[in-house]
Structure 1
Amino acid sequence: MVELCSFLQEIVEQLTQVEGLCQELRRCVMRDVSTVQQALSSPCLLFETPELTIDVSLQGREHFVHPSTVFKELYPASMNDIRMWNIREMRICIEWGKTFDAYQRLSHFDQFALVRNFAFAFNLLNRVFYSPDHGPDKIVFQNGAFIMRQPQQQVNFCLTIFVQLSGCRPIYTRQMDEIMLPFRRLQLSVSEFATFKAALFFNPDALDLSNQAKPDVYEERNKYLSALFTCITNKLGMAAGVQKYGSLLMMTASIQVIFDFEF
């Protein structure tokens, strides 16, 4: 039992380290790839972050060509900001997936199936978890771009700005209410968040995942669920830990509903 707990704790520690590398990679200039398959087959960028340069190409509020990844000030997000972060998170999801040995053992077909199934959730989860807390009605990206809950016509900016905002879309309200605020109430740690994501990523029911891969993916999911349970209960004790663990797992339904709403 002690050996099992130690093994699961090592898993959590490794996931936490990788999560830190993902945070670093979000700020960096990444080599261009033309296809998802090219990204899947290239060496993992996460382990090259010390050699990558910080993306400071453009800063300030006039982010209409290529927004910076570096925070300078809070400003209303344009579609360029949202598009840039969506693309960046998709790439980071691929690089993150490569850090799992079980993922690397899968065929490229099955690797693509898992990434395609999880990429939106990966983007959504990171967006709300890492959003600095500026109240319950605002999602803030790493570079200071923010999305408001309120409708566009209530935001007092010039027309050239507000026609590009996405704050009025119901999908963002759901992200705030059903993911961001529950995360904050649960006081989710980085380690818990990283392990939760790993458990969601290895989805044996992912669309187009081969029957041959399903047992291995199922086993990986159980491993990360066990690691998550151990991580939480070791910190909070069994009673409070079970409650937090259960609350977190119940959020998977909301994540799936938001995914279905978007697509």
Structure 2
Amino acid sequence: MEETEELCLVCNDASSGYHYGVPSCNGCKTFFRRTIMKKQLFVCQHEKNCPVDRSIRCACRYCRFEKCIQVGMDRSALQASRDRIGYTKRTRRPKVKEVSFSSSSSMSPQSYIVESPGYAQKAFETYWSYVASREKASNELRLSDYSPKRSLKEALCSKSLLNDPIFLSNHTAVSPRHTYTELRFIKQSDYHYWHERDWFVLTEYAKTFKVFTDLCYEDKAELVRHAAITIPALNQVYNSPDHGPDTVVFPDGTYYDRTHEPTRPAGLNRKKYQVLDLVLKPFRDIKINFNEFAAFKAITFLNPDADVSLTAKLAINEERVAVTKQLYDFMVRNDGVEKAIRRFSRLILIGTSMSKMACESKEAVWIADFFENIGYTSFAKELFFGEHNSESEL
């Protein structure tokens, strides 16, 4: 009978043996040793409950070290003579070839492809640590009460707040408005509120991609405009607590389901049903995890079908292909080839369905605006229709 592989108690990767009293992998063993020997102190940027597993164990060093202690790693087991930091023997380092990460930005780390499997694994872990950090910061900004009043151009041409650690530490506390004790059915004002918040976060999210910041303003606006339906839908679905197969719940307790809303235009009612059928249901069936969602969201955003210049299309597509390859590699590492192919294929097909949904929803937005069924804000009009709210232009 085949022996069951022992796992690291910290991150659930394959254990390389007992280190400091518990089964652990080489990565967590080394991290624990260095933290103790260097007397390092870490700060959690979130709520001290960050996930620690083999895919994102580098995302928060505070929570990783706390988990090392919780599972029983014994600091007294370190031996100063054996566990000093640095090389105990000079070895020839492997040749390193520098490359760029997909989804690169000022927030993104440098990556390497090397001949050593250990270095390749480190690059892989660092990439997914970045993916997870960006998505966590996006959701925290969404839950905060920070909401600046600005034009689309001001939003897209300023630096990303998600790349500003000082801003994030001061402005990402969960707003009391974004908590609830009981659910209530959504109103039109709630739709307005959450769409505005998701569009605000979308502009900050977009600027974390270097390929985006390199575009001219017209291409930036068109790419964000193209994502203005799909990215909010993804945020709403993935971050919704499970209150049934046909219910999307917002952070303030408002929700929508299959209940017909006669005061809303037919096209927007149809969009609601499509979100439930084409996004919520398959997401729950596939059971995508946090990193898979973060990568899929990036793939959805980086859509070369947007009405951008040819140069922009090529750059966006190149970045999109790179992220897609990273996602497939991640799923293979976690699920094995056979299961990964099934899950990856189903996930990518969701993107195809969402593209069709976005086209139909934009038509509904235009019709609703024409008949004045919906009172769009000036920012929404600028985002969807390119209108500027400036009295001097009248």
Partner of 2:313: 214
The amino acid of 1:181's aligned partner reads: K
Match of 1:30 among 137, 142, 146: 146
> Does the alignment pair 1:194 with 2:294?
yes
> Does the alignment pair 1:233 with 2:349?
no
Q: Offset at 1:31?
A: 4.3
Q: CA RMSD in A?
A: 2.3
SS in 1 for 2:248: strand
Higher relative helix content: 1
Match of 2:249 among 131, 140, 146: 140
Match of 1:184 among 279, 284, 290: 284
**Native 8 Å contact 1:56 1:70 kept in 2:** yes
Match of 1:91 among 200, 219, 236: 200
> Does the alignment pair 1:113 with 2:222?
yes
SS in 1 for 2:137: helix
Question: Which residues of 2 match residues 11-90 of structure 1 at below 5 A?
Answer: 11-46=127-162, 47=164, 48-52=167-171, 54=173, 56=175, 68-90=177-199
SS in 1 for 2:144: coil
Structure 2 stretches lacking a partner, 5+ long: 1-112, 363-394
Larger relative contact order (Cα-Cα within 8 Å, sequence gap ≥ 6): 1
Distance 1:101 1:261, change over 3 A: same
**Native 8 Å contact 2:147 2:197 kept in 1:** no
Q: Offset at 1:143?
A: 1.1
The amino acid of 2:170's aligned partner reads: E
Partner of 1:129: 238
SS in 1 for 2:197: helix
TM-score normalised by structure 2 residue count = 0.57
Q: Offset at 1:6?
A: 5.1
Larger CA Rg, structure 1 vs 2 = 2
TM-score normalised by structure 1 residue count = 0.84
Deviation by residue 1:170-215 (Cα, 9 ceiling, x = unmatched): 22122111110100110101100000111121122211x1112222
Q: Offset at 1:105?
A: 1.7
Question: Which residues of 2 match residues 155-174 of structure 1 at below 5 A?
Answer: 169-174=269-274
Q: Offset at 1:260?
A: 1.7
Q: Offset at 1:12?
A: 2.6
Identity %: 26
Match of 2:305 among 205, 210, 217: 205
**Structure 2: how far apart are the matches of 1:191 and 1:255?**
20
